[in-house]
Structure 1
Amino acid sequence: MKDYYKIGEISKIYGIGRDSLMYYEEIGILNPFRDSNGYRLYNISDIWKLNLIKELRILNFPMKTIKEYLENRNIKSTNEMLEKEIKLIDEKIEELISHKENIKKRLNAINETVKNTAFDVIEVKYMKKRKALKLNANIKRDEDVDFLIQKLQKEYENRFNILGNNNIGAIFSLESINNNIYNEFNSVFCFLDENEDVYNITFDENYYITMSYGGSYSKNKEYIKNMLEFCEEENYEVIGNPIEIYKIDIHETGKVEEFITEIQIPIKKRL
């Protein structure tokens, strides 16, 4: 066995790049000396440090922690360091489990929407009170809806997801609809879980006529007209702005024919 090893030899033996070895020297973990030609020479007695560094890096310990540990090692500090890492790993596991459940929820929302949506069927449904986040704006283009939804999400510190969320929508201007304009909206919104504490609007419990359609949003004019005709035939009065919920949209698919949109209009029976 040699007493000293050059940087190239150490790099090859340990699979550690020269840059990393020089960084370890820079922060004071390794202290090679120079031979007469200026080459770095590593003392065989310091090799144990590289053994520990390599193993601790595999365990994802940061270099700051490794340096502190190498400077003050004993059974107590070893146990404390490993126990602390176990705690961090447990926290990461919980975070990953939560992340996995979030993704499963999005997948379920997409698949349930595709599987269970009945198209072009007008129904009367009773809706419980719904909490939501809402952003008011004068919207006249579909692109504005996407921009404002992103703005709403950012404003409320990403409290809701966009991909796989079938509770995002926009509120029509009933006044515009009465003037035969079907692409103007007053606001965008996202319905929230009923146990959510942060919200800025509630949609009161009420009866709604509802209908889902597939494809381009340009169809909403035809469907809203049909729904309003249904109201007249069934003696219902429209008591608020219609809403449009984007169950499947540009975020889940680039194929317009795969879009799924639901229209809801609040109503009451005429006396």
Structure 2
Amino acid sequence: MRNYYKISEISKLYGIGADSLRYYERLGILRPRREANGYRLYSLKEMYKLNIIRDLRRLDFSMAQIKEYLADQSVGNTLELLRRERRLLGERLRELRAREELISERIAVLDNARKIRTGVFTVKNMPERFCVQLCEHIARDEEMDFAVKKLHRRHEEKIRDFGNQVIGAFPSMENMRRGRSNVYDAVFFILESETPDYDFILPAGEYLSYFYGGGYEQNAERMAEVLAYAENNGLRLLGEPFEMYEIDNRDTMREEEFLTEIQVRVE
């Protein structure tokens, strides 16, 4: 076995780019010797450092921390490092379990959404719901996406996961009555739990519910159907109707797969 290897050989063997090896050299972590022609030669004595660097970088240790450890490697320092690694791995595992829970929730929501029958009127008893909102005239899908992002940015500390966030919007009823679809006065998020910092509350009570599939250009027609159903069945409106997006462009780019719920509080 040779005592020295070229940078190309080390790069291939360890799967580390030549630029990274040169960077480690500039930091003083690796000290290759130079041949007369200027080629770097890495000794077997230093190669063990590459495994340590790779493993610690995976745990987000900084190069300064790695350099400090390698400069004074001892059993005591190794034990301290291993304990730190164990703490970091514990944090990662907790993060991964939390992420797994969020993904499982989203899978359940989408699986249930695909089973929902569209075009059916129901009356639901809903709990009190705390909301944050952005009041803004919205007349295009692109404007809606931008408004949702602004609202998310404003309240992101309250949002556990944007993929699971319940998003709703208040259509412009003035435009709806004129038959103009896809125009809104506000977008809102329903928060997962009660908070002192909210914009409005959807009161507890009975809500007329109607799901429709497909694009939003039909929502004036669908809204008219909801209002007609309420009138024909003696349901008095106790608030403005709103939409909630069960399946939207967070989940699919196929408009025919969109699923939207219209709700309005009734008596």
Aligned partner of 1:120 in structure 2 is 119
Residue in structure 2 matching 1:49, options 43, 46, 49: 46
Aligned partner of 2:106 in structure 1 is 106
1:174 aligns with 2:173: yes
The Cα offsets for residues 1-50 of structure 1, whole Å up to 9 and x where unpaired, read as 77x636459737964655444333322223445566655566x6xx4332
| Whole-angstrom CA distance in 2 between matches of 1:246 and 1:137 | 18
Aligned partner of 2:29 in structure 1 is 29
| Whole-angstrom CA distance in 2 between matches of 1:239 and 1:227 | 14
1:259 aligns with 2:266: no
The Cα offsets for residues 56-105 of structure 1, whole Å up to 9 and x where unpaired, read as 42353543223211222222111101111111111111112211221221
Aligned partner of 1:93 in structure 2 is 93
| Whole-angstrom CA distance in 1 between matches of 2:229 and 2:38 | 91
- How far is 1:179 from its partner? 4.8
Shift in CA distance, 140/28, structure 1 to aligned 2, threshold 3 Å = closer
Identify the range of structure 1 (32-41 vs 143-152) with the bigger mean alpha-carbon deviation. 32-41
Uncovered stretches (5+) of structure 2, i.e. residues with no partner: none
Shift in CA distance, 197/50, structure 1 to aligned 2, threshold 3 Å = farther
Which residue type is aligned with residue 245 of structure 1?
Answer: M
| Whole-angstrom CA distance in 2 between matches of 1:141 and 1:175 | 16
The answer to whether the 8 Å contact 1:49/1:70 transfers is no
The Cα offsets for residues 115-139 of structure 1, whole Å up to 9 and x where unpaired, read as 1x12211122222110122111112
| Whole-angstrom CA distance in 2 between matches of 1:63 and 1:143 | 43
Aligned partner of 1:235 in structure 2 is 234
State the identity %.
34
Query: Aligned Cα RMSD in Å?
Result: 2.9
The answer to whether the 8 Å contact 1:238/1:267 transfers is yes
| Whole-angstrom CA distance in 2 between matches of 1:12 and 1:128 | 60
Within 5 Å, give how 1:188-199 maps onto structure 2.
Answer: 188-195=187-194, 198-199=197-198
Aligned partner of 1:69 in structure 2 is 69
Aligned length: 262
The answer to whether the 8 Å contact 1:162/1:251 transfers is no
| Whole-angstrom CA distance in 1 between matches of 2:39 and 2:229 | 89
| Whole-angstrom CA distance in 2 between matches of 1:263 and 1:68 | 60
- How far is 1:246 from its partner? 1.3
| Whole-angstrom CA distance in 1 between matches of 2:8 and 2:263 | 72
Aligned partner of 1:187 in structure 2 is 186
Shift in CA distance, 206/175, structure 1 to aligned 2, threshold 3 Å = farther
Question: TM-score of the superposition, structure 1-length normalised?
Answer: 0.82
Shift in CA distance, 133/54, structure 1 to aligned 2, threshold 3 Å = same
Shift in CA distance, 255/36, structure 1 to aligned 2, threshold 3 Å = closer
| Whole-angstrom CA distance in 1 between matches of 2:32 and 2:162 | 54
The answer to whether the 8 Å contact 1:164/1:252 transfers is no
The answer to whether the 8 Å contact 1:6/1:39 transfers is no
Which residue type is aligned with residue 53 of structure 1?
Answer: L
Query: SS state of the match for residue 266, structure 2?
Result: strand
Shift in CA distance, 32/177, structure 1 to aligned 2, threshold 3 Å = closer
The Cα offsets for residues 168-190 of structure 1, whole Å up to 9 and x where unpaired, read as 12112334444554433210012
- How far is 1:161 from its partner? 4.1
- How far is 1:236 from its partner? 2.4
The answer to whether the 8 Å contact 1:132/1:190 transfers is yes
Shift in CA distance, 17/145, structure 1 to aligned 2, threshold 3 Å = closer
The answer to whether the 8 Å contact 2:177/2:220 transfers is no
Aligned partner of 2:135 in structure 1 is 136
Uncovered stretches (5+) of structure 1, i.e. residues with no partner: none
| Whole-angstrom CA distance in 1 between matches of 2:41 and 2:182 | 75
Identify the range of structure 1 (13-22 vs 215-224) with the bigger mean alpha-carbon deviation. 13-22
| Whole-angstrom CA distance in 2 between matches of 1:35 and 1:142 | 64
